[in-house]
Amino acid sequence: QVQLVESGGGLVQAGGSLRLSCAASGRTFSRSTMMGWFRQAPGKEREFVAAISWSGGSTYYADSMKGRFSISRDNAKNTVYLQMNSLKPEDTAVYYCAADRYYSGSYFEARKYDSWGQGTQVTVSS
- For 2-29, the pLDDT digits (tens) are 899 999 999 999 999 999 999 998 876 7
- Cβ–Cβ < 8 Å for 114, 52: no
CA angle 39, 93, 5 (to 5 degrees): 60
Task: State residue 75's pLDDT score.
Answer: 85
Name the amino acid, one letter, at 20.
Answer: L
Ranges assigned E (strand) in 55-100? 59-61, 69-74, 79-84, 93-100
What mean pLDDT is predicted for residues 32-53?
Answer: 95
What mean pLDDT is predicted for residues 63-88?
Answer: 94
Q: How many CA atoms lie within 13 A of 25 on its CB side?
A: 3
Given a cut of 70, whether residue 54 has pLDDT beyond it is yes
Coil, strand or helix at 8 = coil
For the chain, first and last CA: distance in Å?
A: 39
With CA atoms as reference, report the closest residue to 95 among 80, 76, 74. Answer: 80
Highest mean pLDDT: which range of 30-34, 55-59, 64-68 = 64-68
CA pair distance 7, 90, nearest whole angstrom = 20
Task: State residue 50's pLDDT score.
Answer: 98
Task: State residue 3's pLDDT score.
Answer: 92
Given a cut of 80, whether residue 103 has pLDDT beyond it is yes
Please write the tens of the pLDDT for every residue from 26-35. 876 777 889 9
